[in-house]
Amino acid sequence: MTDTAPDPSNADFTNAGEPFELFSSWLAEAEKSEPNDPNAMALATVDADGLPNVRMVLLKGLDDTSAENRGFVFYTNFEGTKGRELLAHPKAAALFHWKSLRRQIRVRGTVTVVPDAEADAYFASRPRLSRIGAWASAQSRPLEGRFALEAAVAKYTAKYAIGDIPRPPHWSGFRITPVEIEFWKDGAFRLHDRVVFRREDAGALWTKTRLFP
């Protein structure tokens, strides 16, 4: 983060009363300015020893039919590292950082598996080769060489040469239902603006607190 002056065109987000609407507006602005993957987020999980793991994933959904369960949806292989960690310890944190806007958003909450129908609909929307890849990749496990991966892709390409490609049983989505969302905007001389929304659980009302930089 630099000691540069903030963009004067940015509205005063500290007056926002609800975090999801503010998140959506910031994401929409990032989609206009970020050169790559404005929906990318760093996802943190913990392993069996409590040691954290973090990696980049893509946000693929925000809303749910139930207002209490609105959250941040991403998809992965349940047999990979993050899938296994989330199934064992269903809590996570995520970070969105938009360098072009000098903004970031931190999210913390509980994690649930999305309904099958929701996962099926998203899987069907993916490019065909991405669907093949979901079958071919034994995510996070040792790979003896690139040829083994290419052979697996060829195997499933032949298997599903005609017709629809079903969603693998080990591939689905997770929803982070947040109990805390913090918004951060760069300020001159590191006098940043920070606002955090918190609630006890998914059914509770949000409280808002402005924080020192």
Q: Which residues are part of the catalytic machinery?
A: 190
Q: 43: helix, coil or strand?
A: strand
Q: Are 203 and 68 in contact (CB under 8 A)?
A: yes
One-letter amino acid of 6? P
Q: Are 8 and 78 in contact (CB under 8 A)?
A: no
Q: Are 167 and 120 in contact (CB under 8 A)?
A: yes
| CA distance readout (Å), 202 to 22, 32, 146 | 18, 31, 44
One-letter amino acid of 112? T
| CA distance readout (Å), 99 to 51, 72, 121, 156, 185 | 28, 21, 32, 39, 11
| CA distance readout (Å), 157 to 2, 37, 144 | 48, 27, 21
Q: CA triplet 73, 28, 206: central angle to 5 degrees?
A: 60
Q: How far apart are the first and last CA of the chain?
A: 12
